[in-house]
Amino acid sequence: MEISNIQIKKILYATDLSQTAVHAFSYAISLASQYGASITILHVLAEFPGQEYITNMIPPSTWQAIKDRYYSKARDELIGKKRESTALKEVLKAFSEEAKTNAKDQAFVTDEILIKTGTPAEVIVQTAKEQNCDLLVMGTHGQGVITRALIGSTAKWVVQHCPIPVLVIRLP
């Protein structure tokens, strides 16, 4: 049996801004640190999440500052999705920077922060291909008997269709 030399240079971290996704980022950071890999952060935008999800990523004061900065711009924009995308990108950037501060012994680089629209599972798999990622890290909302059977519809679809290894994390 020949053992492959696994090289992980680029990790795609897919987040839905939930607590589980925040927890999964710890795994992405740890692996990036161990392998010297970079991280690309992806959020697929279907509709703007509620504030309860945003505050899982960053403190409420940071979210308020971001909202305040974009309020006047948002009024002038005709398409609400553009505003949401810009603000979410800044949320994820702030989240990444805060994680770097808190991950004292784990160095990592955030390559890119992507906000895309579409069906989350399909966009995640397509982005993994386009970005030439070596590993995908994502959370699942799983709890209980139903989850054990289903994992989570997005995570399950991604695992079945993604051409690269997928690490699915659930809350402890």
Task: Measure CA of the first residue to CA of the last residue in the chain; give whole Å.
Answer: 35
Per the rule left: phi > 0, alpha: psi between -120 and 50, beta: everything else, 21 is alpha
State the alpha helices, DSSP H only, in the chain.
19-35, 51-57, 60-76, 80-102, 120-130, 144-150, 153-161
pLDDT tens, position by position, for the chain (172 residues)? 899 888 999 999 999 888 888 999 999 999 999 999 999 999 997 645 555 567 677 887 887 787 777 665 555 554 455 556 788 899 999 989 998 888 778 888 899 999 998 889 999 999 999 999 999 999 987 544 444 444 568 889 999 999 999 999 988 7
Residue 160 in contact with residue 47, Cβ under 8 Å?
Answer: no
Within its chain, how far is the Cα of 10 from the centroid? 14
Please give the model's pTM, rounded to 2 decimal places. 0.76
